[in-house]
Amino acid sequence: MGLASLFQRVVGLLGVSFRRTYVRATQTAPGRTWLSVGGVALAVGLMVVVTGIGVGIATQSTVYSENVDYWITPETDGGSSALVDADSPQFGSVHPTAADLTAMDSIKYASPVLQQPIRLETDSGGAEYVLAVGIVGHPEFTEIADTMTAGLTPGDPYYANGTWTGEVVLSAGAAELLSASEGDRVNVTRPQAGSERNFSVVTVDPGTQSGSQFPIAVMQLSELQAITGGNVNDEAGQIVVSSTDPDIEPMLANIYPRSTVSTRAGLNAQAVFEEELPLALSVTSAIIAIVIGTLFVMTTTGLSVASDRGKIATLAAIGISRRTRFGLLASEILTITAVGGVVGVVLGAGGIRVTNIVAQQTLTSGDVASADPIVIGFGFVISGVIGLLVLPYLAVLLSRVGRAREVGR
């Protein structure tokens, strides 16, 4: 059989299959057909929502900035959250390194980022723990960890025995927690011996982004180092780089040994696999979706084969091979699961939107779930897996129909 003849045969088989599926969905068996589509759609839709929440958690748990293109971080043995884990490996001599990078023509700016929990006390006597994020300010470095940096003097003046600024920007969550507003004074309790501890709130973030509900205090890197002891080795947990040059990634990877470079495009995917909670959510939701969707389609497939037993026997009697009969019914199943996958992805995208709206009304001012392309693509993959898992069950059903026909003779 030539390739042209084989192609025509496959196209003809698919045409018959699509036609049968359409007739079943609109005339002969709409209930069973749409039950299969609905089962797959419901399973995929729920999985997309849960996975979207997982990706949202992963993205929010990184020190993320809209105008940062590269993140240089130390290699670790396991996943860690930059907004929670302050004990991860640190880079040393970060100020000179960032200055050298900023001086390059292809880089707008580079800034080390240090995260440490500190206890801030207000003049009214209240004291609470917040996550302090130390950076080297730059006019184009406008936001870090969903908190604006406006108000910080560029260039980190206190570094190398300079002038103490005492500047701190509070996220909306930190300002609410401390009952502090712009112009208020806050003090660091139990700072490193011999360091300054007085700060003034220069800006309070308006709270328009998803991570702004976290209690975050953004300040000059050298001043955070001074109160936490990181100034001894000039330490920071990562370096963020703003650049549109795609060729600098290998250079950035070689600045420090045992370091990794993340890009904006790959951040969400990497975060899902490095963060344990988002990965657990994604894997669990995928398994549940596959099980539920497969059971729905297997049940309706069994009912359909049972009701069409006479037609299947007729196809065999007129000389249609077992392989062709299997291909005809398999195409129907794959078509149904594909339609269910499309509907499920649409439902999931809508569910993510509703989740974000509800969260913004009750919990936070920003999105908690992400409709990233990786989430949408994951939904289509799961629907395909469901269809493929049903095919062995279809083969068993057809073989039993064939044996029953032979016994009937």
pLDDT in tens, the chain (409 residues): 566 666 666 666 667 667 777 777 677 667 777 878 888 888 888 888 888 877 766 555 444 555 667 888 887 654 444 434 445 688 999 999 999 999 999 899 999 999 999 989 888 777 889 999 999 999 989 888 878 898 899 999 999 788 899 999 999 889 988 888 899 999 887 666 555 578 999 999 887 765 667 899 999 999 999 888 888 899 998 999 988 787 888 899 899 988 888 776 444 444 444 555 666 777 788 888 888 888 888 888 887 777 767 777 777 677 667 777 787 788 888 888 888 889 999 998 898 888 878 876 665 545 667 777 778 888 889 888 998 998 888 888 777 765 545 444 4
Residue 4 covered by a domain: no
Residue 281 covered by a domain: yes
Same domain, 77 and 113: yes
Same domain, 151 and 50: no
User: Which phi and psi (to 5°) does residue 83 adopt?
Assistant: -95, -5
The answer to whether 72 touches 252, Cβ cutoff 8 Å, is yes
Angle at which helices 30-60 and 276-307 pack, to 10 degrees? 170
Q: Which residues fall within 8 angstroms of residue 328, CB to CB, at 6 or more apart?
A: 13, 16, 17, 20, 315
Residue 255 covered by a domain: yes
Q: Which residues fall within 8 angstroms of residue 103, CB to CB, at 6 or more apart?
A: none
Same domain, 298 and 248: no
Please give the pLDDT value at position 126: 77
Residue 387 covered by a domain: yes
| Domain membership of residue 341 as a residue range | 12-59+277-408
The answer to whether 320 touches 9, Cβ cutoff 8 Å, is no
Residue 336 covered by a domain: yes
Could you write out the DSSP letters of every residue in 333-395? HHHHHHHHHHHHHHHHHHHHHHHHHHHHHHT-SS-SS---HHHHHHHHHHHHHHHHHHHHHHH
Please give the pLDDT value at position 93: 93
Helix (H) / strand (E) containing 290 = helix 276-307
216 three-state secondary structure: strand
Residue 6 covered by a domain: no
Residue 2 covered by a domain: no
Residue 271 covered by a domain: no
Last residue of a domain, one of 228, 243, 264: 264
Look at the alpha carbons of 197, 203, 207, 210 in this order and tell me if their dihedral is positive or negative. negative
Please give the pLDDT value at position 395: 84
Same domain, 141 and 198: yes
Same domain, 16 and 131: no
Would you give the DSSP letter of residue 191? P
Same domain, 236 and 369: no
CA–CA distance from 13 to each of 9, 84, 308, 334, 396 (Å)? 6, 56, 18, 13, 21
Same domain, 85 and 230: yes
The answer to whether 52 touches 363, Cβ cutoff 8 Å, is no
291 three-state secondary structure: helix
Same domain, 236 and 291: no
Same domain, 245 and 313: no
Same domain, 387 and 238: no
Please give the pLDDT value at position 309: 72
In the chain, the number of structural domains is 2
Last residue of a domain, one of 209, 230, 264: 264
Residues 301-307: contacts with CB within 8 Å, 24+ apart?
Answer: 301/36, 301/329, 301/333, 301/390, 301/393, 301/394, 301/397, 302/393, 302/397, 303/32, 304/24, 304/29, 304/32, 305/329, 305/394, 305/397, 305/398, 305/401, 307/29
Same domain, 114 and 219: yes
Same domain, 373 and 348: yes
Taking the C-alpha atoms of residue 128 and residue 121, their distance in angstroms, rounded to an integer, is 7
Last residue of a domain, one of 230, 264, 298: 264
The answer to whether 74 touches 237, Cβ cutoff 8 Å, is yes
The answer to whether 209 touches 141, Cβ cutoff 8 Å, is no
Would you give the DSSP letter of residue 52? H
